Amino acid sequence: MRRVTTGAPTPRLDRSRHAAIQVLDHLRERIVALDLPPGMLLSRAELAADFGVSQTPVRDALMRLEEEGLVDVFPQHKTMVSRIDIRSAEQAHFLRRAIELEVASTLASDPDALLVNRLRAAIERQRSALALPDYAEFASADQSFHRQMYDAARVPQLWDEVCRRSGHIDRLRRLHLPVGGKAQAILRDHRRIVDAIARGDAEDAQRRVREHLGGTLAHVAAIRARYPDYVTN
Contact 19, 53 (CB under 8 A): yes
List strand residue ranges (DSSP E) for the chain, in order.
3-4, 41-42, 71-74, 78-81, 84-85, 231-232
Cis geometry, peptide bond prior to residue 133 (ω within 30 degrees of 0): yes
Q: Which domain holds residue 59?
A: 3-82
How many domains is the chain partitioned into structurally? 2
pLDDT number for residue 1: 44
**Chain centre distance of CA 88:** 14
Report mean pLDDT in 10-residue bins for the chain, 233 residues: 50 78 93 95 92 92 95 90 95 96 98 97 96 93 96 97 94 90 94 98 97 86 92 85
pLDDT number for residue 8: 55
pLDDT number for residue 36: 95
Q: Is there a single domain that holds both residue 15 and residue 59?
A: yes
pLDDT number for residue 59: 94
Q: Is there a single domain that holds both residue 29 and residue 133?
A: no
Domain CATH code at residue 133: 1.20.120.530
Q: What angle do CA 167, 169, 171 make, to 5 degrees?
A: 65
Ordered DSSP codes for 116-182? HHHHHHHHHHHHHHHHTT-HHHHHHHHHHHHHHHHHHTT-HHHHHHHHHH-HHHHHHHHHHTTSTTH
State which of 82, 106, 138 marks the end of a domain. 82
Q: Is there a single domain that holds both residue 64 and residue 144?
A: no
